[in-house]
Structure 1
Amino acid sequence: MTYDTFFVVGLFILVLAVPAILGAFRRGEAPRVPAILVLIGGGLIVVAIGAKPNAYSISTIPQVIDSVISHFIAYLRT
């Protein structure tokens, strides 16, 4: 796995954690599982940014996501 993949998977996990957090608060429960998701997603993003400090910015995120998805699709076709 490349660091771009870590970054994209971390973003995906963080996006999935948002509805889980909102649902837990709505039900009046402690958001234990969403908190773990935030830690995992945030950790993956921190690892990717730590390895490539100047590679990721707001303007490059769509390009990174597109690159990772295209590599994944190419992998599936082989």
Structure 2
Amino acid sequence: MTTDYLMTIGLVVGLFSIPAMLAAYADLRFPRGPMAAFILSAATIALAWVLHPGGYSFAELPNVVVRVIADILN
């Protein structure tokens, strides 16, 4: 279940870093913070992918996110 949390955290951070990168490019400044967040997100997703026995499939990712949200709410 720990790898599910890592995968979800990586996906959420990566999702939020993309608009921040686009905003930085629109303001003509270098996106240091958003780029660091995106790299951290990619590393977290890769770590979860490697540590999960058998790996993850793309079809399984929505179920992983829902499991983590359900676990947090309960």
Same-fold call, TM > 0.5?
yes
Do structure 1's residue 52 and structure 2's residue 63 form an aligned pair? no
CA-CA distance at 1:53 after TM superposition: 5.6
Letter in 2 for 1:28: L
| In 2, Cα distance between equivalents of 1:53 and 1:71 | 20
2: distance between equivalents of 1:41 and 1:64? 16
Q: What RMSD in Å do the two structures reach over aligned CA positions?
A: 1.3
Structure 1: gaps of 5 or more residues: none
Superposition TM-score, scaled by structure 2 size: 0.92
Q: Structure 2: where are the runs of 5+ without partners?
A: none
TM-score (norm 1): 0.88
- Secondary structure of the structure 2 residue equivalent to 1:35: helix
Q: Which residue of 2 aligns with 1:68?
A: 68
2:23 is matched with which residue?
23
Q: Would you say how many aligned residue pairs link Structure 1 and Structure 2?
A: 74
Q: CA deviation at 1:61?
A: 0.8
Deviates more, 1:5-14 or 1:53-62: 53-62
Aligned structure 1 segments of 4 or more residues deviating by more than 3 angstroms: none
Corresponding residue for residue 9 of structure 1 = 9
